[in-house]
Structure 1
């Protein structure tokens, strides 16, 4: 089974899933040429560069959520509904994903 496709239409993207998809695309491109996979890989690599500009060392190690701007209020409401997390203390950094703002939630 291969990692699901990641696009800037997703409400939440986990950094571990993002790296798994990139790795899978790289492996696929080693075996065959695909313009579709090449374009997707190029887009995801640019996204990763934007993440790395604002990320902490633990972003990929622990897996951080990237929340689409249009979904952020729902995400915060869901966090407030859970007893385990105080949503007011969320550390968020904006990241561009091909013209769409995502908020990187610090994993630390």
Structure 2
């Protein structure tokens, strides 16, 4: 899924949830956009871990967030990247960076 398609998909999800495009979203807004429960939202945040060697996220099914006062916020760009990372075809057929390179390719 290319970035433009992911952005269009996210904009459709925003319309469906009655929200407007903005720089970042609160936990309740992200839950409405993704259609997930509060426990799933917090699991997505807790799973976020960066690989020290590449500085990329280790798990595709996680959300990167930041603190603003006492609330976790998720950036619009991170939601777009989340949709790209979680494309079903890529997840099923792509190369897993955590898998050992047995054939040295």
Question: After TM superposition, is the score higher than 0.5?
Answer: no
Which one has a larger percent strand, Structure 1 or Structure 2?
1
Superposition TM-score, scaled by structure 1 size: 0.27
Higher helix share: 1
Q: TM-score, with normalisation over the residues of structure 2?
A: 0.27
